[in-house]
Amino acid sequence: MSCNLAAELREGTKKSHTMAENVGFVKCFLKGVVEKNSYRGLVSNLYFVYTAMEEEMERHRSHPIVSKIYFPELNRKASLEKDLTYYYGAGWRNQVAPSPAAKMYIEQIRKISDSEPELLIAHSYTRYLGDLSGGQILKKIAQRGMNLSEGEGTAFYEFEQITDEKGFKNKYRQSMNDLPLDKAAVDRIVDEANDAFGHNMALFKELNGNLIKAIGQMLFNTLTRRNVRGSTEVPAPAKN
């Protein structure tokens, strides 16, 4: 029996995927405009989200459905801890906390884990498949945008236990397709995946204001430095 869940999720979340890519923070990121304070705020929130998701996946590792797509080699918590140490220092645990959007995201993960654990598939698919698909590209963008050296602040994008990302994604999708799910269950998972995209967009939108403020400050600083040198000043009117 095949439920073709992978194709259903791909088709059923196309609109949400496009909407997520058009949030200001993401658009700037993809264009190479990456501001370190905003980015480390994202890393902080993702740490709390992945911690919740991975705790609940572990909790249901023997569940007849969840167990089929439970792959600990995907876990991101430890890699995010490395990045948080880089951005905040050794005492990062005392400096970070989930934002309002992250709290709502986490609350949803905990809620479905208690009521319908199979819906965790939607969150796993939305986050992990995206991380694997664009991880290396996003890593390079982050490195260029924040002038990072190799191995600094980008552990999140490195799946050290997965040597063949394309092959792993194929295995993951096949595992989803082999799940014993009826149409109603597939539809609920697709709906939950769209909700997961919504939660991710809320995280990104929280960062829009910080990013705009930071870019504005950078532009102001640049113009101020130029004005001091007189390079961009409006010419003084000629004396008669």
CATH number for 192: 1.20.910.10
Residue 237 domain flag = no
Residue 41: CB atoms within 10 Å: 21
Residue 234 domain flag = no
How distant is the alpha carbon of residue 108 from its chain centre? 16
Residue 79 domain flag = yes
What is the rounded CA–CA span in Å between residue 225 and residue 229? 7
Q: What is the pLDDT of residue 237?
A: 38
For residue range 131-164, list pLDDT tens digits in order: 998 888 889 999 999 999 988 999 999 999 999 9
Domain that holds residue 185: 5-226
Q: Which amino acid is at 37?
A: N
Q: What is the pLDDT of residue 212?
A: 47
Residue 235 domain flag = no
Residue 232 domain flag = no
What is the rounded CA–CA span in Å between residue 86 and residue 72? 24
Residue 239 domain flag = no
Mean pLDDT of the chain, nearest integer: 88
Residue 231 domain flag = no
Q: Nearest to residue 180, comparing CAs of 5, 30, 35? A: 5
146 CB burial (10 A radius; 0-12, 13-18, 19+)? middle
Task: Tell me how many domains the chain contains.
Answer: 1
For residue range 35-62, list pLDDT tens digits in order: 889 999 999 999 999 999 999 999 999 9
- Please name the residue that has the structure tokens 């007189």: 230
pLDDT higher at 214 or 209 = 209
Q: Which amino acid is at 104?
A: M
Q: What is the pLDDT of residue 168?
A: 96
Q: Report residue 1's pLDDT band, with 50, 70 and 90 as the boundaries.
A: low
Q: Report residue 240's pLDDT band, with 50, 70 and 90 as the boundaries.
A: very low
Residue 40 domain flag = yes
What is the rounded CA–CA span in Å between residue 116 and residue 110? 10
